[in-house]
Amino acid sequence: MHNPLLERPLSLYSNGQFIAGEGEDITVYDPSNATPITTLKAASAIQVEQAITAANKAFPAWCALGGPKRAEYLRRIAQALEQRRERLINVQMRNNGKPQFEADLDVSDAIATFNYYAEQAEQLETRQNTPFSLPDPYYQGQTRLEPVGAVGMIVPWNFPLVTSAWKIAPALAAGCTIVLKTSEYTPLAELVYADIAQEIELPQGVLNILTGAASTGIALTQSKKLAKLSFTGSNQVGSRVMQSAAERCQPVSLELGGKSAILVFKDAPVEQAVEQIVAGIFFNCGQMCSATSRLLVERSFAQQLIPALVERTRHLKVGSPFTEGVEMGPLSNLPQYQKVTRLLKQAQHDGLECLVGGEVNKSQTGWFVPPTIYDHIDRQHPFWREEIFGPVLVITYFDTEDEAIELANDSDYGLVATILSADLERAQRVANQIWAGHIWINSLQIIFPQTAWGGFKGSGIGRELGPWGLSAYLGVKHISIYDTQG
């Protein structure tokens, strides 16, 4: 199908207009065959400042517009996404390498997020000037929730349409204006938000979208004119974002990495457990901060579960997103492919026990890595401790509930966890003792806009989604009134 969303002669959207970038060339690839789709121009440092100026200029009027009016724009964005569904699915299949069912889920997630925050924008008005009592009868207290201002955003390449929605929707609902930098690897889906902003006549400067790589991101994070930074990506880059913000004591929200556990108790149904393990690590080719890449199995259950898991993994259909029935596509970009293939070679050097996968088919065109499982991994090995961000699962075993909890918490991260057990009372008890921001019990990784997203420890600062996502873009204003009438 011909898809105009793949053609971008003008790669920046600033102050309500599409303009040509003046920075470096960025070549966008199809990861299933490693061929270029298009070349875009990145935003220069001057263009970043111009977009920030536009966002600050637009802020007072957008803030004053009120929640109900902002909600109307959010719903129109959701409608415009739905109207572009087929083309957006195609863009993500071409630019991300996502199988069709995954790309379709991403569109639905983005639509649901904008509709949810339209409701939140409407309800925000009812929360203003909320009274509360004070111990002195001559004083009255009130609170208001005010948008923080113009916000800089940097989003990753693994879920470009979704992570952008998770930031744009609550920020607009709160009354903030936005300068968003796309990933250099997957800018095509995110630029659709610019198309929609222009189509629905979103006021100029409210939403600015810049294509760019590291230099564009540095210019964004170093600006003194932004009220806040919101970043999703690796811990390495997140640390630099935080350091830059710290120079100005600038607030930040960081959604970073994970090395999450999936705990399987012996009373879990084998077939259900296998499907949930596979989905937790091989969905999106394992390129998920929430990937449950550490499998913890009750030892007495291993002989039933592991052979079934290996058999299912061996027959997982890997290939181009445009191949009928494909279940896992390629890694989304060359640097990630090079990183994961290097780690697979390291595993061979270290003598890890590989149950399936482990070797890349070098004759295959595109950035494909086989679904891979390693057994009996030592807790000090990097594969246990470090995020791989690819389709690589490691297994260890436990004998008691307490040991399972201790193993799950043995991580520098605390983003998510999954617990599989027919004993819901035990599953709940275990969930209460795992340090992670989101825990699923007997469930696939379903994420509703109403839920919280974010983690403990090295997995970041703050929360996205739900009312907590809205609060991330709001400041609390307290008003104290002295009344001599008492």
Catalytic positions, please? 255, 289
Q: Which residues are CB-neighbours of 425 under 8 A, at least 6 positions away?
A: none
Pick the closest to residue 165 from 131, 196, 125, 202 (CA basis): 196
Q: Which residues are CB-neighbours of 166 under 8 A, at least 6 positions away?
A: 113, 232, 453, 464, 465, 469
Crossing angle of helices 235-246 and 214-221, in 10° steps, is 30
Per residue, the 3-state secondary structure of 352-383, as one string, reads: CEEEECCCCCCCCCCCCCCCEEEECCCCCCHH
The CA-based angle 171-200-213, given to 5 degrees, is 55
Strands 252-255 and 460-461: antiparallel
The answer to whether 286 touches 392, Cβ cutoff 8 Å, is yes
H or E element in which residue 249 lies: none
Residue 110 and residue 77: Cα distance in Å, rounded?
Answer: 10
One DSSP character per residue, 262-318 reads EEE-TTS-HHHHHHHHHHHHHGGGG--TT---EEEEEGGGHHHHHHHHHHHHHT--B
The CA-based angle 334-351-369, given to 5 degrees, is 25
Q: Which residues are CB-neighbours of 395 under 8 A, at least 6 positions away?
A: 295, 296, 297, 306, 355, 373, 374, 375, 376, 377
The answer to whether 221 touches 193, Cβ cutoff 8 Å, is no
3-state helix, strand, coil split of the chain in percent (to 5) is 40, 20, 35
The answer to whether 92 touches 82, Cβ cutoff 8 Å, is no
Residue 107 and residue 92: Cα distance in Å, rounded?
Answer: 10
The answer to whether 390 touches 336, Cβ cutoff 8 Å, is yes
The answer to whether 233 touches 156, Cβ cutoff 8 Å, is yes
Residue 97 and residue 331: Cα distance in Å, rounded?
Answer: 7
The answer to whether 150 touches 226, Cβ cutoff 8 Å, is yes
Q: How far is CA 165 from CA 77, 113, 358, in A?
A: 10, 6, 35
Amino acid letter, 168: I
